[in-house]
Amino acid sequence: MPVPIRRLILALTLSCTLFVGATACGSDSGDQQTSAAAATATPTGTSSAEKQKFAKTRFVANAGLAAGATYQWIVKPWKAGKFKKGEKGRKVALVKAGLAGGFSYNRLKAALKNAQGDPTLAKAVAPLTAGIEALKSLPAKLRKGDSTDAAAKTYDDIINKVKDAGKSAGAEVKDQVPSASELTKG
Residues 105-151: pLDDT tens digits?
988 999 999 999 888 898 988 888 888 888 888 888 777 777 888 88
pLDDT at position 63 over 90 = yes
Q: What is the average per-residue pLDDT within 51-78?
A: 89
Under 8 Å between Cβ of 165 and 124: yes
| Ramachandran quadrant class, 144 (left: phi over 0; alpha: psi -120 to 50; beta: rest) | alpha
Q: What is the average per-residue pLDDT within 94-105?
A: 87
Residue 8: burial class (beta carbons within 10 Å; 0-12, 13-18, 19+): middle
CB atoms within 10 A of CB 14: 11
> pTM (2 decimals)?
0.67
| Ramachandran quadrant class, 148 (left: phi over 0; alpha: psi -120 to 50; beta: rest) | alpha
pLDDT on residue 137: 84
pLDDT at position 94 over 80 = yes
Percent of the chain with pLDDT over 70: 68
Identify which of 64, 67, 170 has the alpha carbon closest to the alpha carbon of residue 121: 170
pLDDT on residue 15: 61
pLDDT on residue 6: 65
pLDDT at position 97 over 60 = yes
Under 8 Å between Cβ of 131 and 155: no
CB atoms within 10 A of CB 104: 29
Q: What is the average per-residue pLDDT within 87-91?
A: 91
